[in-house]
Structure 1
Amino acid sequence: MSLLKVPLLLSATVANHIGTTPPHAAPASDEVAREVTRGERIFTKTVRIAPRLAQLVVYAGSLCEIAVIIARTFPTTTVAQEILKTLTWGSTRVADRISITPTFAIGCGLAVLGGTLRAECYRALGRLFTYEITVRKGHRLVTEGPYSWVRHPSYTAHIIVSLGTFICHSCPGSWVRESGVLSTPLGKALAYGWTAWTAYLLIRLCSRPPQEDRLLQKEFGEEWDHWADQVPCRLFPGIY
């Protein structure tokens, strides 16, 4: 077990926090688009609440893993032994299996990349960035920065950071996989809930761009058409 995993976990956790925290309060009701699907209306009602709960799961998983890593590295104190007994199920030796694996490294890299890109999208859009599909007062079509690569880079970033964080905490060598917490009722419930939310989120983020494109095309007309010609992909350059 290596202490190097601690700063890597912290980096991924901070990136996830940045990538899944709305930078602004919810917009006024008259700014929220009405011409959206039923699925979008449901998503809009959950998007301000469910991500917070998912963040709490990530925070808890990271703190537990960091505590076990430190306790296993310095096991001679009473506090360390109590941490190992409390946060491992079965033998405390399972803590030895918590490690930096290639899969974890990939997940951590994706989380940091996604969080960084998401922050850049916040900067580029400024007050125009909302979790809801909106056209705000004084709205302009942003085409610079990440929006010169794909039309919806904030969704791309959210997909990347969510996948990266999920990989970090679900791969072999993680506290979630190795500690035995998944054998407990609470651990199972949290794991199933987080997995379900992540899957739902990824589906919504992939299906949402066409709705937003229709709204922006209606609002900005030829300006949007020109941008769409220059930036043909919605989420991933050369793919979609």
Structure 2
Amino acid sequence: MTPAIAKAVFLLLAAGWYVVRFKHARKSRRTPILSSARGPRETALLLISLTGLGIIPLLYVATGGFPRFARYTFNPAQAWLGVLVAIAALVMFHLTHRALGRNWSVSLDVRESHKLVTGGIYRRVRHPMYTAFWLWAVAQALLLPNWFAGLSGIVGFGILFFGRVGREEQMMLTSFGDEYREYMSRSYRLIPWVY
């Protein structure tokens, strides 16, 4: 394991995310949106997350280590752990998109004929997409030996998650009522039996 391979794994993680998302984004666009929480706040949260998980680490990779003051010594064992976490992130991301099908949306949307998905990866975890992004953020921190670029994903996505998850659950309660309440009582937000 070398720093160049670790950077390549991060780039493959980003490319894998795009491949998974592209196919599902095309399908879901064909299903009209019934209600949405899009607006300036949602746009700002998405941009903050994109900056932390995409722009800053890609700038680091493209420049060979920007910002230089935040570098630390590369640890191959840490990078190998990052590879495993990146694989887990992509698997979780794929399973989530597959389970959601046309219900998927990049924003807080409820689509026409929207069904509450509670099977598969959603059986025990209400927000496995967020779990996938947390895994991405951890993989990024393990793969990129730079305090700023490595941790920007945790900070950027953390702001999106904590600024959005409550609103998303409220939207689901409004749309699905007791069905969602019952689902909440038997599932966890991110990690089964933990949270």
Fold conserved (TM > 0.5)? yes
Match of 1:205 in 2: 161
In structure 1, which of residues 53, 57, 67 is the aligned counterpart of residue 59 of structure 2?
A: 57
Q: Can you list the C-alpha shifts for 1:71-116, whole angstroms capped at 9, x where unaligned?
A: xxxxxxxxxxxxxxxxxx9xxxxxxx7662x222222211111121
Q: Show the counterpart of 1:216.
A: 172
- Backbone CA RMSD of aligned residues: 3.6
How far did residue 31 of structure 1 move? 4.8
Structure 1 counterpart of 2:108:
133
Q: Is 1:230 the equivalent of 2:172?
A: no
Using the TM superposition, give the Cα deviation of residue 133 of structure 1 relative to its aligned residue in structure 2, in angstroms. 0.6
Structure 2: runs of 5 or more not aligned: none
Aligned residue for 1:208, secondary structure, equals: helix
Shift of 1:7: 6.0
Q: Deviations over 1:47-68 (max 9, x none)?
A: 696455346336537xx69xxx
Is 2:127 the partner of 1:152?
Answer: yes
Aligned to 1:143: 118
Give the letter aligned to residue 172 of structure 2.
L
Q: Take 1:111 and 1:18, find their aligned partners in 2: how far apart are those partners?
A: 10
Conserved 8 A contact 1:13-1:58: no
Q: Which residue is equivalent to 1:15?
A: 13
Bigger-Rg structure (1/2): 1
Deviating beyond 4 angstroms after TM superposition, the runs of 4 or more aligned structure 1 residues are 5-9, 25-32, 191-198
The 3 A distance-change label for structure 1 pair 238 and 60 is: same
1:43 to 2:45 alignment: yes
- Letter paired with 1:33: S
Shift of 1:197: 5.7
Distance (whole Å) between structure 2 residues aligned to residue 127 and residue 7 of structure 1? 35
Q: CA deviation at 1:212?
A: 0.9
Q: CA deviation at 1:219?
A: 0.5
Q: Shift in Å at residue 222 of structure 1?
A: 2.0
For residue 193 of structure 1, report the CA deviation from its aligned partner. Answer: 6.9
CA separation of 1:194 and 1:139: change in aligned 2, threshold 3 A = same
Question: What are the ranges of 5 or more consecutive residues in structure 1 without an aligned counterpart?
Answer: 66-88, 90-96, 171-175, 177-190
Q: Which amino acid aligns with 1:147?
A: Y
Q: Is the 8 A contact 2:86 2:136 kept in 1?
A: yes
Aligned to 2:79: 104
* 8 A Cα contact 1:19 1:115, kept in partner: yes
Residues 98, 237 of structure 1: alpha-carbon distance in 2 compared, 3 angstrom cutoff: closer
**What is the alpha-carbon distance in structure 2 between the residues aligned to residue 48 and residue 204 of structure 1?**
6
Q: Is the 8 A contact 1:18 1:118 kept in 2?
A: no
Partner of 1:151: helix, strand, or coil? coil
Change (3 A) 1:149 1:16: farther
CA drift at 1:165? 1.6
| Amino acid paired to 1:236 | I
Alignment of structure 1 residues 181-196 onto 2, 5 Å: 192=148, 195-196=151-152
